[in-house]
Amino acid sequence: MRVVLLGGAGYLGTAASHHLTALGHDVTVVDGLIYHRGDDPAALLPRTARFVHGDLRDADLLARVSTDAEAIVHLGGIVGEPASQLDEQLAVELNYASPMIAAEAAAGAGVGHYVFFSSCSVYGLHEGTVNEDTAPNPLGIYARTKVLAERRLPEVLGGTALTSLRLATVHGASPRQRLDSVVNKMASHAASTGRIPLNGGAQRRPLVHVGDVARVLAGVLEQRLTGAWNVGSDEENHTIGDIAATVADVVPGAVIDRGPERDEADARDYRVSFASLQRALPGTCSTPLKDGAREVADLVLTGAITNPGQAQYDNHRGLIAAVTSGRVGRLATAECRRYGTEYTSAWKAS
């Protein structure tokens, strides 16, 4: 299958590109290298993957790479609420306008399947267990862009098959490593300092390993699954306190540093059902928390990562550096302005 990965040189995309090419798929990666750290994309990607350096808001570029593609996968954008709050307009352009412009290109080229990477963050704060039918409750800019894209993509895509993957919080090792998600942050900090920062502990987070995300994507493409899917496993619903305790077990001698009872900067709290995915793709999300935590700790303990505190491993700090250096900024093209107006209209009461 000819697959285009938009944002495919990032944490998720590099893992997905290796898995898809290993299965025999023809992969093209398009990435603006917002968080460019001096990495050579060719060293991060499989040898057989093609790399195109370009802005994911460029309508002409997206039209070109969509020609002859059988599937378009949009993984790009700004991840997380802190980074999205840095510049709301920029976040809307990259997280909402970009996937919509890509959908226009896919529909125009007659691409058969469009996969959008969303997030379980769309659920926000919920009592009980949420599933794909639960009404979203987005708590910030990041989640709002994801919710609005899920709502509007079917209208733009027309007859193109659409899949929205609502990812749990991702952990584990990838060719393009991130250390700012909860498991990776705790594990790398424990390995480098012997301390595990913990704010609160009762908040619930569903988790999924980065390699399992790649396997889910392959299954979705090969079986052409459509609709919205929570990506993770029921066994990997954990509290923040559980995560800290697991990391302490993985890194002998590490001590938990308990902070405020609740992290007021992140009010998300939800337990997610992944039963639908388990029925459709049984066993794809089977990597436990302890394995991902151990992988990340080992990157530090073996010296593969010498300074986990560097901005290059943190998307918020990395985005600040990218904006400051001029590597990325608002485009304010006609398409970006149009979709920006849609976003403002949709959430003007928020």
Residue 334: partners with Cβ closer than 8 Å, 6 or more residues away: none
Cα–Cα distance, 115 to 111 (Å, whole number): 11
Chain segment 47-84, per-residue pLDDT in tens: 999 999 999 999 999 999 999 999 999 999 999 888 99
Three-class secondary structure of residue 180 per DSSP: coil
In the chain, domain spans: 2-346
Range list of H helices, the chain: 11-22, 41-44, 59-66, 81-86, 88-92, 98-109, 141-157, 182-193, 210-223, 240-250, 275-280, 289-301, 315-325, 334-346
Q: What is the mean pLDDT of the chain?
A: 92
Q: Which CATH architecture has domain 2-346?
A: 3-Layer(aba) Sandwich (3.40)
In contact, 232 and 168? CB cutoff 8 Å: yes
- Supply the DSSP symbol for 158: T
Three-class secondary structure of residue 268 per DSSP: coil
Chain segment 107-137, per-residue pLDDT in tens: 999 999 999 999 999 998 778 899 999 999 8
**pLDDT computed for residue 270 by the predictor:** 72
Checking if the pLDDT of 348 tops 90, the result is no
Residue 326: partners with Cβ closer than 8 Å, 6 or more residues away: none
In this structure, of 140-144, 158-162, 321-325, the range with the lowest mean pLDDT score is 321-325
**pLDDT computed for residue 261 by the predictor:** 61
Q: Alpha-carbon torsion 81, 85, 89, 93, what sign?
A: negative
- DSSP for 21-85 reads HHTT-EEEEEE--TT--S--HHHHS-TT-EEEE--TT-HHHHHHHHTT-SEEEE--S--SHHHHH
> pTM of the predicted model, to two decimals?
0.95
Closest alpha carbon to 251 in 259, 262, 243: 243
**pLDDT computed for residue 268 by the predictor:** 59
In contact, 142 and 96? CB cutoff 8 Å: no
Chain segment 229-273, per-residue pLDDT in tens: 999 999 999 999 999 999 999 999 999 998 766 554 555 577 899
In contact, 342 and 148? CB cutoff 8 Å: yes
Give 203's pLDDT tier (boundaries 50, 70, 90). Answer: confident
Chain segment 28-56, per-residue pLDDT in tens: 999 998 876 666 787 899 999 999 999 99
Q: Hey, how many other C-beta atoms are within 10 angstroms of the C-beta on 279? A: 8
- DSSP for 208-222 reads EEHHHHHHHHHHHHH
Burial class (CB in 10 A: 0-12, 13-18, 19+), 123: buried
Query: Parallel, antiparallel, or unpaired for β 125-130 and 169-171?
Result: unpaired
How large is the C-alpha radius of gyration of the chain? 19
Which residue bears the tokens 């992969």? 27
